[in-house]
Amino acid sequence: MYDNNPTLVGIKKEIDETKQGQVFFQEKPANEAVEGGNGKHFYIESYGCAMNFSDSEIVASILSDVGYRPTRQLEMADLILVNTCSIREKAEETVRQRLNVFSKIKRRKPGTMVGVLGCMAERLKAKFLEEEKLVDLVIGPDAYRDLPNLVAGAEEGEKGINVLLSREETYADISPMRLDDNGVTAFISIMRGCDNMCSFCVVPFTRGRERSRDCFSIVSEARDLYERGYREVTLLGQNVDSYKWQNPENEEVVNFAQLLEMVALVHPDLRIRFSTSHPKDITDEVLHTMARYENICKYIHLPVQSGNSVVLERMNRTYDREWYMDRVRAIYRIIPECAISSDIIAGFCGEQEHEHQETVSMVDWANYSMSYMFFYSERPGTLAARKYPDDVPLEVKKRRLQEIVDKQSEVSLRHNKADLGKTFKVLIEGDSKKSNKDFKGRNSQNKMIIFPKIDGLKPGDYIWVKVTSVTSATLMGEVSFP
Question: Is residue 289 a contact partner of residue 296, using CB atoms and an 8 Å limit?
Answer: yes
CB atoms within 10 A of CB 232: 21
DSSP 8-state class, residue 395: H
For residue 325, the model assigns a pLDDT of 98
For residue 47, the model assigns a pLDDT of 86
Rounded to an integer, what distance in angstroms lies between the CA atom of residue 309 and that of residue 361? 13
CATH classification (class only), 423-479:
mainly beta
Question: Is residue 440 a contact partner of residue 467, using CB atoms and an 8 Å limit?
Answer: no
CATH code, residues 185-415: 3.80.30.20
* Parallel, antiparallel or unpaired: strands 370-375 and 12-13: parallel
Range with the poorest average pLDDT among 5-9, 81-85, 177-181, 275-279: 5-9
Please state, in angstroms and as integers, the Cα–Cα distance from residue 10 to each residue in 32, 257, 352, 452, following that order.
39, 27, 28, 21
Rounded to an integer, what distance in angstroms lies between the CA atom of residue 158 and that of residue 161? 10
For residue 27, the model assigns a pLDDT of 37
Question: Is residue 162 a contact partner of residue 211, using CB atoms and an 8 Å limit?
Answer: no
Domain with CATH 3.40.50.12160 in the chain: 25-162
By CB atoms closer than 10 A (0-12, 13-18, 19+), residue 387 is exposed
Cα maximum dimension of the chain? 65
pLDDT interval class at 126 (50, 70, 90): low
Q: What is the pLDDT of residues 284-296, one digit of tens each?
A: 999 999 999 999 9
* Parallel, antiparallel or unpaired: strands 211-212 and 191-192: antiparallel
- Angle, helices 394-417/353-366, rounded to nearest 10 degrees: 20
Mean pLDDT value of segment 402-407: 98
For residue 465, pLDDT over 90 is answered with yes
- H/E run at residue 154: helix 147-155
Rounded to an integer, what distance in angstroms lies between the CA atom of residue 144 and that of residue 163? 9
For residue 191, pLDDT over 70 is answered with yes
Positions of E strands within 204-303: 211-212, 232-236, 244-246, 253-255, 271-275, 299-301
Torsion of CA 210, 216, 217, 218, to 10 degrees: 70
For residue 24, pLDDT over 60 is answered with no
Question: Is residue 34 a contact partner of residue 28, using CB atoms and an 8 Å limit?
Answer: yes
Q: For residue 47, which of 24, 65, 21, 66 has the smallest C-alpha distance? A: 21
DSSP 8-state class, residue 305: B
Q: Is 404 helix (H, G, I), strand (E, B) or coil?
A: helix
For residue 174, pLDDT over 70 is answered with yes
**Number of residues written out for the chain:** 482
Please state, in angstroms and as integers, the Cα–Cα distance from residue 228 to each residue in 43, 59, 480, following that order.
25, 21, 28
Chain-centroid distance of CA 185 in Å reads 13
Q: Is 253 helix (H, G, I), strand (E, B) or coil?
A: strand
Range with the poorest average pLDDT among 77-81, 169-173, 297-301, 332-336: 169-173
Fold classified for 25-162: Rossmann fold (3.40.50)
Q: What is the pLDDT of residues 349-373, one digit of tens each?
A: 999 999 999 999 999 999 999 999 9
Mean pLDDT value of segment 51-61: 90
pTM: 0.86
Mean pLDDT value of segment 14-33: 37
Question: Is residue 87 a contact partner of residue 81, using CB atoms and an 8 Å limit?
Answer: no
Q: Is 114 helix (H, G, I), strand (E, B) or coil?
A: strand
Domain with CATH 2.40.50.140 in the chain: 423-479
Question: Is residue 113 a contact partner of residue 136, using CB atoms and an 8 Å limit?
Answer: yes
Domain with CATH 3.80.30.20 in the chain: 185-415
For residue 50, the model assigns a pLDDT of 85
* Parallel, antiparallel or unpaired: strands 448-452 and 475-479: parallel
pLDDT interval class at 165 (50, 70, 90): confident
Q: Which residue blocks in 273-351 are alpha helix, DSSP H?
A: 284-292, 309-314, 321-334
Mean pLDDT value of segment 120-135: 70
